[in-house]
Amino acid sequence: MTKSIFISVSFLFCTITFGQNSVDEKDSYFPLTKGISKTLTWYNNKYREVVEDTITFEGKVYTRVAQIFPPDETINMYYFKSNDTIYYFNEVKRKHTPFFSINPVEGETTANGTVKKVGATLKTPKGKLTNLLVIEMVYVSGQKDTRYYKKGLGLVAVKNNGRLVCYYVPD
């Protein structure tokens, strides 16, 4: 009897603890779950973005996201989540900076951008994307673009000067 109660309580604890993480990531506009993989276009090329593993820098655990460009170029990016913000680790400057708000609100400034819309729709050559988060980015150089994020997938499109330059390609 005691063994059954222990197993039931353990199962309930694991379901609540670990089940909520998967739901949170599924509902996140910037999921960092190991194994998430998607194909995107970038102008006339395609690349694969894969959430690969974790790595520790100066005592903090970061998630490594690889952008894999054929034939053999890979760009690694490192992120960690704290409270309601995702931080990016800049390898050159050796510091992390706020990158993305987990609970975006229209009009809110997040890193280099401003949330323009929650729940947007966008038509791409591969179909219509719905329930998107739209962030208008302004960079130090003065350049601007508009980025579109989908819950459970992350970045799914980028417009530059009103032109679609990047979009998600379903597998």
Extended strands (E) in 9-44: 37-42
**Which amino acid, residue 75?**
I
The reported pTM is 0.81
The C-alpha atoms of residue 78 and residue 65 are separated, in whole angstroms, by 6
pLDDT tens, position by position, 5-52: 223 323 323 322 333 333 366 789 999 999 999 999 999 999 999 999
Give the tens place of pLDDT for each residue, 93-146.
888 888 888 888 999 987 789 999 999 999 999 999 999 999 999 988 889 999
